[in-house]
Amino acid sequence: MKLIMAIIKPFKLDDVREALTGLGVEGMTVTEVKGYGRQKGQTEIYRGAEYEIHFLPKVKIEVAVNDDQAERTIETISSAAGTGKIGDGKIFAVDLEKAMRIRTGETGNEAL
């Protein structure tokens, strides 16, 4: 199993959710985050003083999928979240050793 983490633009969340649902992914966890990458923050003025906002609002989604689905999930997120502009985000994948559904106690792929 893989745990796929993607950091995307907040307003792309709905598109990504719909795309993943279309793929049969049945669960997702979302966190409000801030971040920067090549898309550096912006310069703003507040009460006459310039300052750099280093972190921009993003949304992090986490999806646990079985190994077969991993590649397709990444691609789906990538195409649903992309706008072609800087700040589109990143996708990371780590190996997921265990998964358990609390209600039933199922583990492994069953639990996803």
Partner 1 sequence: MKSNLLKITALGAALSLAAVPAHAEVSGETAFIFNTLSFLMHGFLVMWMAAGFTMLEGGLVRTKNTSMQMLKNIALYSIAGIMYYLIGYNLMYMDVTGYIGSFSIWEAVDAGITADGFKEGDYSAGSDWFFQMVFVAATASIVSGAVAERVKMWPFLIFTTILTGIIYPIQGSWSWGGGWLSEAGFLDFAGSSIVHSVGGWAALTGAIIIGARKGKYGPDGQVRPIPGANLPLATLGTFILWMGWLGFNGGSQLAMGSAADVRDIGSIYINTNLAAAGGVVAAMAMTQMIYKKVDLTMALNGALAGLVSITAEPLAPTPGLAILIGAVGGVLVVFAVPALDKLKIDDVVGAISVHLVGGIWGTIAVVFSNADATIVAQLTGIIAIGAYTVVFSTIVWMVLKFTVGVRVSEEEEMDGLDKAELGLEAYPEFGHGSAKL
Ligand X SMILES: Nc1ncnc2c1ncn2[C@@H]1O[C@H](COP(=O)(O)OP(=O)(O)O)[C@@H](O)[C@H]1O
Binding stretches for a copy of itself (CB under 8 A): 2-3, 6-8, 17, 26-38, 54-55, 58, 60, 64, 70, 74, 77-78, 81-103, 105, 111
Cα(85)–Cα(82) distance, rounded to whole angstroms? 8
Whether the CB-CB separation of 27 and 112 falls below 8 Å is answered with yes
Site residues for ligand X, window 35-74 (CB under 6 A)? Answer: 35-39, 56, 58, 62-64
Cα(70)–Cα(72) distance, rounded to whole angstroms? 6
Q: Out of 13, 90, 96, 109, name the contact with ligand X by CB under 6 A.
A: 90
Three-state SS at 15: helix
Residue with tokens 């966190």: 31
**Contact positions vs ligand X (CB under 6 A):** 7, 27-29, 35-39, 56, 58, 62-64, 86-90, 101, 103, 112
